[in-house]
Structure 1
Amino acid sequence: MKQLEYAAPPPANVDVNAYRSLAALLEDSCRRFADKPAFASMGVTISFHQFEQLTAAFAGYLQNVLRLNKGDRVAVMLPNILQTPVAILGALRAGMTVVNVSPLYTAPELEFQLADAGADTIVVLENFMHTLLQALPGTPVRNVIVTQVGDLFPHPRRELVNFAVRRLGRKVPAWNLPSARRFERAIEEGALYLPADAALTGRDLAFIQYTGGTTGRPKGAMLTHANMVANVQQTAAWIGSRLEEGEETVVTALPLDHLFALTANLLVFLKLGGKNLLIPDPRDLASFVAQLRKNRFTAITGVNTLFRALLDAPGFDAACAANRGNLKLAVAGGMAMQREVAERWQAATGVPIVEGYGLTEAAPIVSANPADSAGFSGTLGWPLPRTEVAILDDAQRPVAPGILGEICVRGPQVMPGYWRAPEETAGAFTADGWLRTGDMGRMDEHGELSFVDRRKDIIVISGLKAYPAEIEEVVRRHPGVKEVGAVGVPDPRSGEAVALFVVKRDPGLEADALRRHCRAYLAPYMQPRHIEFREQLPMSPVGKVLRRMLRDQLRTP
């Protein structure tokens, strides 16, 4: 395959083997930045030195009290609170493999993931114990470690916050599990032991990270310590001198169970000695904006829906004014960014949104626009250091610049395969080792990448291909539309037709007005055959419209 000449290549001399494991990265940063703030939540901050002690205690508890063995799977089902990075890095430090679990999972989803991963232990916020108890009988979990929101807060704030959540907020459904262990007690017991060196290497599994497959149930992407260290190093090289070690604060609103936030926020800023401002519930916009107003922050990551929600939130202008001159970097990933949202963001904050591209199977970051971009480009930028990207046709042959094909990736951050799924693994790679992403895109003659849509979501109408992302972008331009999902539905004449699910911004919006808007901007074959208005659309934890669920709802009588 001919190698493309990149117009703006990132640095190539990145040492992706700088640390033998994420545990080594943790220990190095905690030593270098010991007195610097590491994490802040609800007005409480812990330093890197305190973080080192807490992760050591949790590692000691797993090794010496629970007597887990290297490689045992530890599930973490927590929102963005102080216990989350302690549980994740403490488990890794103990030599365990972490299985991140969304607190928003239903009991069947949770049961499948815990059973498939073979999780032995789970750390869970008590707010979600009622879900876990429904799932538990069908899983191999032996140890349940329960925590409350304020468990790592100092007295008396700990008791006040826990009482407020449990009693005043009524956010903890009743549960009963006598064998459950308390996180606070686990830290106390674990502190009595020095954690043993787990002798981790780059080949050891760090995470089994579940991701939706093209068919069937989610699959667990196996991500090694080498994969994760490589992506941290690649991302830090991409940031370059834009951020200063030991001096930055990043807003972490995306859930840490999502790999974008896990890598870009938790691990990259761990390496940089930065502070993570943890937002437990970004859907509580009043509280979120209040935190932004109180804290000086220099970086923020998000997805299109999060940035848009902030821009629409009362008080965000005041938060921007309070932070004026501090923000250096805003990064979007996880879903396509709308130009209108990006332009509004830059006008409000003075800083552009820098868009990147990645996927769970690549730990996850593959490409990005330059960190010092002056404005929003609408593209996905250039591959990160030591990363190859190719656009292949259906026969897995490279296409010419500008031609649509499947985005395929090679690099040290790419997973070795899916957990206990050899057939899925074989189907994910080409014969010469390219990871098939399932995403359709183009690369220009300078190596700049553009995303079009997911292969599995393409709608085929009388042999012509319609891309839901393009249709949704057009529909969102109507001022009466707040959110939209476009999917294909069976049609006896054309094979498939376009169906729109729309959440109104203007209560008076009618289907005929939306059809007129579509006729002005979309080709005839792409016109929606069905329009349905909804109060809300099914969303992933990071705010992506779940088109699969919309299709399933259409098929269900």
Structure 2
Amino acid sequence: MEFRVTVVASGDLVPAELRARWAAQGYYAGQGIYQLFAAHVRSTPDRTAIIDDDGELTYAELDSQVRRWAAGLAGLGVTAGDTVATQLPNGRHTCIADLAVAAIGGVVLPYPVGRGVKEARSLLTRSGAVAAIVDPTHAVQTQTLQREIPGLRHVVVTSAPVLGESDFQAVAVDPDGPARMLVSSGSESEPKLVLYSHNALACGRGAFVQRLIPPGGELRALFLLPLASSFGSNGSTVTLARHGGTLVLQSKFDAGATLRLISRAQPTHLIGVPTMFRMMIDHPDRPATDLTSLRVVAPGGAQLDAPTAEACRLAFDCAVVNVYGSADGVNCHTALDDPPSRVTSAGRPNPAVAEIVVADDHLRPQPAGAVGEIIARGPMSPMRYVGNEDLNARYRTPDGWVRTGDLGVFDEDGYLTVVGRRKDVVIRGGANISPAEVEQAISAHPAVRDVACVGVPDPLMGERLCACVVASGTLTLEDVTTFLGAHGLDRFKHPERLLLLDSLPLNPAGKVAKDVLRAQATA
């Protein structure tokens, strides 16, 4: 028997009448994340829930551990509405923690392994976390922070978790109440904390994943990105709780190990950033890997160029879906049946996920063909930013829209193309250059395997553009600029420096670490 604790969503910046309308349209399930998960436990207890470095867990086995962890947290005094932070590698412990916090009616704050002590301190303090669950390698750092943060009462290490009885009775929460904070990997001085409700996370984001499942198909999703990232939140919350699928995980991305895992676990969906797919395509073991189980590869988190999309289609022999989205509250992706020519667009908006408008500086909708800021509002819309009211004032509107800071354009058929960020520009002698535009152009060069462009300081021009390239064979700056000139890119947008690398560095969220590239290019 469950007892109900109502969490009041008074901090929701989306008008209540909009949430009610989306519920009436059937976009919301009206249940908490743990309750959705528990329904799959009852209906398919022997179905495989997780395949990770430690083996496999069925739904019944996973639920038993979730209930024991939930009882342990409750025994520590963690109650409904409390925030529990987690810093864990991809694996069963991440999912157990997510679901256990949901079972006690708490709010989980996952942040990726690799975040430094400065960011960890900021996240733990601003979120008001009362407990943190960490793996052994982060125990000392977090315990040190505990002495600095009065509200952080408990640090739980996964090697010795605090456990209770497996008959723990879950709390039934308000589905429009807070469930999870997503950590942005954007360009703010410190990461943004974005608060999502159960409905917005499991159902709004869940509708995005639903469109990736072919009719009559199953969902065995291998997440190459950290589950603690925005994209990775579609793991335990959506793949398991919403859709009852199987989650395939490895603690750290490695192209060769991932290929071996695909052969062994036979996933249907492969989800990561374009750089990860390029690494797998180029790996010598790829031609001998059994990839026949794959139905969808879904690159996201960075711009997808046409050569990478075509290389994915040929190498993995399945549908390629380009995903655009962010923790702030926007998602759009191409469809399974879109023609290959559309794959570098962001697809057409799904009303069950988010309505999207391209707007001018006064937030007036722009016609097809006009570039403007992408704003979004829909069932996946988060409640608010946490710990920074200035962000709510800057990026949220009174009628529920989220200002993403991304620039985009719709074509006459309703397809969205993302062309860059308002802030992500290199200013050379007063002229604005979009690195994303130049990256797309350079990626078409036959010798380029991967590319990212960054600005480097220059005493004369202010900034100059540096192309950081992974190349097959010899490549010079003149080769690049000659190619760009032949393909019509304005001369002032051409890179003036070239940095050749064996691979592009990735940050803890699995995206290209442009701060690292800037430091390398500057040096």
What TM-score does the superposition give when structure 2 sets the normalisation length? 0.87
Q: Does 1:392 align with 2:386?
A: no
Aligned ranges 1:348-497 → 2 under 5 Å: 348-362=315-329, 366-373=331-338, 375=340, 377-386=343-352, 387-461=354-428, 464-489=431-456, 496-497=462-463
Aligned to 2:65: 54
Aligned to 2:251: 280
User: Closer, same or farther in 2 for the Cα pair 1:220/1:354, shift >3 Å?
Assistant: same
Unaligned runs of 5+ in 2: 1-21
Cα distance in 1 for partners of 2:345, 2:509 equals 20
SS in 2 for 1:389: strand
Amino acid at match of 1:347: L
Q: Cα distance, 1:272 vs. partner?
A: 2.5
Say which of 30, 33, 37 aligns to 2:41: 30
Q: Does 1:124 align with 2:89?
A: no
Q: Cα distance, 1:230 vs. partner?
A: 2.8
Cα distance in 2 for partners of 1:356, 1:12 equals 25
SS in 1 for 2:195: strand
Given that 2:200 and 2:381 are in contact with CA atoms closer than 8 Å, whether structure 1 keeps it comes out as yes
SS in 2 for 1:242: coil
Q: Cα distance, 1:449 vs. partner?
A: 0.9
Aligned to 1:520: 486
Q: Cα distance, 1:131 vs. partner?
A: 3.8
Q: Does 1:115 align with 2:82?
A: no
SS in 2 for 1:439: strand
Given that 1:459 and 1:466 are in contact with CA atoms closer than 8 Å, whether structure 2 keeps it comes out as yes
Amino acid at match of 1:216: S
Aligned ranges 1:151-162 → 2 under 5 Å: none
Aligned to 1:317: 287
Amino acid at match of 1:467: S
Q: Deviations over 1:515-548 (max 9, x none)?
A: 4334333211112234445566553234433335
Amino acid at match of 1:191: E
Aligned to 2:12: none
Given that 2:425 and 2:434 are in contact with CA atoms closer than 8 Å, whether structure 1 keeps it comes out as yes
Aligned ranges 1:116-265 → 2 under 5 Å: 116-133=126-143, 135-139=145-149, 140-148=151-159, 182-183=160-161, 186-187=162-163, 190-191=164-165, 194-235=167-208, 237-239=210-212, 241-244=214-217, 247-263=218-234
Deviates more, 1:332-341 or 1:542-551: 542-551
Say which of 262, 282, 291 aligns to 1:292: 262
Cα distance in 2 for partners of 1:530, 1:303 equals 25
Q: Cα distance, 1:116 vs. partner?
A: 1.6
Given that 2:334 and 2:345 are in contact with CA atoms closer than 8 Å, whether structure 1 keeps it comes out as yes
Q: Cα distance, 1:477 vs. partner?
A: 3.4
Say which of 71, 74, 98 aligns to 1:88: 98
Q: Cα distance, 1:437 vs. partner?
A: 0.6
Cα distance in 1 for partners of 2:365, 2:464 equals 30
SS in 1 for 2:436: helix
Q: Deviations over 1:7-64 (max 9, x none)?
A: xxxx99962221321122111121122121111113621111112211111111111x
Q: Cα distance, 1:359 vs. partner?
A: 1.1
Given that 2:50 and 2:248 are in contact with CA atoms closer than 8 Å, whether structure 1 keeps it comes out as yes
Q: Cα distance, 1:280 vs. partner?
A: 1.4
Cα distance in 2 for partners of 1:534, 1:146 equals 37
Amino acid at match of 2:238: L
Say which of 493, 505, 517 aligns to 2:471: 505
Cα distance in 1 for partners of 2:270, 2:216 equals 12
Q: Deviations over 1:439-496 (max 9, x none)?
A: 10101233211111111112345665421111112233345544433234566776x5
SS in 2 for 1:440: strand
What TM-score does the superposition give when structure 1 sets the normalisation length? 0.82
Cα distance in 2 for partners of 1:367, 1:205 equals 23
Amino acid at match of 2:400: G
Given that 1:442 and 1:449 are in contact with CA atoms closer than 8 Å, whether structure 2 keeps it comes out as yes
Aligned to 1:154: none
Q: Deviations over 1:272-298 (max 9, x none)?
A: 322111121113x33222111222222
Given that 1:14 and 1:234 are in contact with CA atoms closer than 8 Å, whether structure 2 keeps it comes out as no
Q: In the comparison of the two structures, how many residue pairs are matched? A: 498
Cα distance in 2 for partners of 1:208, 1:253 equals 20
Cα distance in 1 for partners of 2:501, 2:276 equals 20
Given that 2:48 and 2:56 are in contact with CA atoms closer than 8 Å, whether structure 1 keeps it comes out as yes
SS in 1 for 2:379: coil
SS in 1 for 2:280: helix
SS in 2 for 1:327: coil
Given that 1:14 and 1:237 are in contact with CA atoms closer than 8 Å, whether structure 2 keeps it comes out as no
Q: Cα distance, 1:378 vs. partner?
A: 1.2
Given that 2:206 and 2:238 are in contact with CA atoms closer than 8 Å, whether structure 1 keeps it comes out as no
Aligned to 1:156: none
Q: Deviations over 1:202-252 (max 9, x none)?
A: 2321112221455421121111112113324422552465353xx442212
Q: Deviations over 1:286-326 (max 9, x none)?
A: 3222111222222221210111111112212222xx342x3
Cα distance in 2 for partners of 1:503, 1:486 equals 8
Cα distance in 1 for partners of 2:332, 2:412 equals 16
Given that 2:180 and 2:197 are in contact with CA atoms closer than 8 Å, whether structure 1 keeps it comes out as yes
Given that 1:391 and 1:408 are in contact with CA atoms closer than 8 Å, whether structure 2 keeps it comes out as yes
Q: Deviations over 1:172-197 (max 9, x none)?
A: xxxxxxxxxx12xx23xx126x4344
Cα distance in 2 for partners of 1:502, 1:420 equals 35
Given that 1:104 and 1:541 are in contact with CA atoms closer than 8 Å, whether structure 2 keeps it comes out as yes
Given that 2:371 and 2:407 are in contact with CA atoms closer than 8 Å, whether structure 1 keeps it comes out as yes
Cα distance in 2 for partners of 1:305, 1:479 equals 16
